[in-house]
């Protein structure tokens, strides 16, 4: 990692060679929620499901799920497409130091079931097996413990002067002065936040971003569905697909860069054997 310089944050470094358009966009449009771009991706999972079944038969006691594949595919795509790991804070564009994914774990599937926040850190030498282990460990931890971010919110909720606390927190956040302990447990300080609506039988929607924190990408995973596809002679064939929706801060890159990044993710999820290689391994797409 490059040596920290004046203006850098504990969680990212200033992009100093940025083009003029992306330099001025945060100055003209300073709020992340005012700059949301929406995209959608359909993944053919027929081959993917066969891969998962084969893996689980061959790796007894070390199973994987479609959720593991999606997170690993997203992490590899962002590793190979580093502009997707940028964020804007205090009207300045930063390259994030870490590659992180966050998601909510519900302890019990009921209305009053407690929720915890899971956070996974990916490295260049990670692959599907190691990422799945990290994900499963986080899910197990969240089901049996309370994460530090939730503990902090529970404590702050009991304090008076909530408006002052909110102002102070927003000021620290925008300047990159939040304690590392807060950054390490807050999902909205992560590269990407994911919501697996498919696990509760729902189709995809689009989740908004937050002006709080540094998160620039939110992904919603829908349920698996049979989608008709038509041959050249008009014959319909049903194909099982997984739908993903993306809400992205449009200021961190351009549409061409986003399109290529999603094309890479589609290739990875439809050819999951590519995820057995380290995240840093290049892929033709």
Better-predicted residue by pLDDT, 258 or 233:
258
Counting residues of the chain whose pLDDT is more than 90, the rounded percentage is 65
- Confidence (pTM): 0.87
CB 223 within 8 A of CB 202: yes
pLDDT of the residue at 234:
85
What's the pLDDT tens digit per position in 144-197? 876 566 666 666 667 776 777 676 777 777 777 777 666 667 888 999 999 999
Whole-angstrom CA distances from 127 to 9, 94, 276 are: 28, 26, 5
- Asked whether residue 148 is assigned to any structural domain, the reply reads yes
- Asked whether residue 17 is assigned to any structural domain, the reply reads no
Q: What is the Cα–Cα distance from 106 to 87, expressed in whole angstroms?
A: 28
What's the pLDDT tens digit per position in 65-88? 999 999 999 999 999 999 999 999
Show the domain range for 43.
Answer: 29-230+249-276
Check which CATH number belongs to the domain holding 220 and give it.
3.30.559.10
Better-predicted residue by pLDDT, 40 or 231:
40
- Asked whether residue 24 is assigned to any structural domain, the reply reads no
Q: Which residues of 74-100 are buried (b: 16+ CB within 10 A; e: fewer)?
A: bbbbbbbbebbbbbbbeebbbbbbbbb
- Asked whether residue 237 is assigned to any structural domain, the reply reads no
What's the pLDDT tens digit per position in 270-284? 999 999 999 999 999
- Asked whether residue 10 is assigned to any structural domain, the reply reads no
Q: How confident is the model at residue 251 (pLDDT cuts 50, 70, 90)?
A: very high
Mean pLDDT across 242-267? 96
Q: What is the total count of domains within the chain?
A: 1
pLDDT of the residue at 81:
98
pLDDT of the residue at 172:
75
DSSP 197-263: GGGGT---------SSSS--EEEEEEEEEEEEEE-TTS-EEEEEEEEEEEEEEGGGS-HHHHHHHHH
Write down the mean pLDDT value for the chain: 89
Q: What is the Cα–Cα distance from 154 to 132, expressed in whole angstroms?
A: 30
Q: How confident is the model at residue 34 (pLDDT cuts 50, 70, 90)?
A: very high
- Map residue 57 onto helix, strand or coil: helix
């Amino acid at each position: 990692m490059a040596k920290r310089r004046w203006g850098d944050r504990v969680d990212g470094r200033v992009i100093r060679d940025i083009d003029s358009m992306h330099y001025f966009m945060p100055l003209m449009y300073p709020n992340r929620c005012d700059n949301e771009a929406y995209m959608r991706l359909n993944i053919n999972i027929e081959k993917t499901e066969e891969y998962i079944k084969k893996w689980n038969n061959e790796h007894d006691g070390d199973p994987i799920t479609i959720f593991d594949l999606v997170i690993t595919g997203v992490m590899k795509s962002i590793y190979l497409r580093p502009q997707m790991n940028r964020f804007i804070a205090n009207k300045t564009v930063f390259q994030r130091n870490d590659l992180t994914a966050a998601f909510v774990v519900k302890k019990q599937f009921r209305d009053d079931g407690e929720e915890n926040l899971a956070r996974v850190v990916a490295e260049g030498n990670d692959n599907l097996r190691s990422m799945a282990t990290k994900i499963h460990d986080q899910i197990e931890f969240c089901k049996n413990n309370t994460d530090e971010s939730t503990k902090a919110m529970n404590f702050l909720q009991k304090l008076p002067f909530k408006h002052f606390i909110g102002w102070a927190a927003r000021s620290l956040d925008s300047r990159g002065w939040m304690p590392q302990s807060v950054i390490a447990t807050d999902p909205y300080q992560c590269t990407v936040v994911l919501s697996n609506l498919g696990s509760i039988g729902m189709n995809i929607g689009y989740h908004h971003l937050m002006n709080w924190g540094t998160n620039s990408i939110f992904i919603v995973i829908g349920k698996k569905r049979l989608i008709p596809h038509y041959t050249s002679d008009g014959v319909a064939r049903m194909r099982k697909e997984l739908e993903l929706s993306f809400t992205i801060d449009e200021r961190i890159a351009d549409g061409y860069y986003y399109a290529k990044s999603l094309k890479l993710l589609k290739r990875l999820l439809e050819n999951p054997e590519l995820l057995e290689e380290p995240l840093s391994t290049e892929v033709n797409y």
